[in-house]
Every structure is written in structure tokens, then in C-alpha cells.
Amino acid sequence: MSWNWKIIILTAGLAVSSSASAQNKTQEMMPYTTVDHPEFVSASGASFLSDTDVVIGVSSGGVTKAYPGADLAQHGVVQDQMPDGPIAITW
């Protein structure tokens, strides 16, 4: 099976308000800092992860990568490259 992933977006607990007062508020900036082009280690070398940690997995063109949920929760977005082009992963 061939997967062609371009953008992966996962959201949890998203609430949208349609009230007039919510629409008139100035949108606040998120306190996240994007991770651009992260470095990876082999699965056996990932001693900073435990068996119960959540990861987001992406596989394309014979390349498989795992993005720790804790990093995504802290940074908000990871921008990376796969064999068929750029991707963005968010939590």
C-alpha cells in the first residue's frame, strides 16, 4: 500500500464558540515554538521514550518517522521533510 502524506493534523478537545463576543475578541498567539527539520535517532537509541509514550507515526517512500506526543504538546507544530515533500505534524 502506498501512502502519500502531505499534512497530518490531529486535534484533541477543540471547542469552537459561535457567540458574538467570542468573535470580536482579538485572537491570542499560541505560546508554541515550531520545530523545524528535527533530528532523529534510531528506535533503539530513543532512550528518552518509554513503552507507554504516545507518538505520531508517519511513513512514506520507505521512510518511517515517529514524533513524540510530549514534544508536539510543548511545541505545537513540527515541520519536517519526507521523500515526497514537506509535512507538518500538529497535536
Question: Are residues 8 and 87 in contact, defined by beta-carbon separation less than 8 angstroms?
Answer: yes
Global pTM reads: 0.63
Domain edges within the chain: 34-39+54-91
Question: Are residues 56 and 8 in contact, defined by beta-carbon separation less than 8 angstroms?
Answer: yes
Nearest-angstrom CA–CA distance, 55 and 48? 12
pLDDT, one tens digit for every residue, the chain (91 residues): 444 444 444 433 333 444 444 555 666 665 678 888 898 999 899 999 999 999 999 999 999 999 999 888 888 899 999 999 999 998 7
Q: What is the per-residue pLDDT for 25?
A: 60
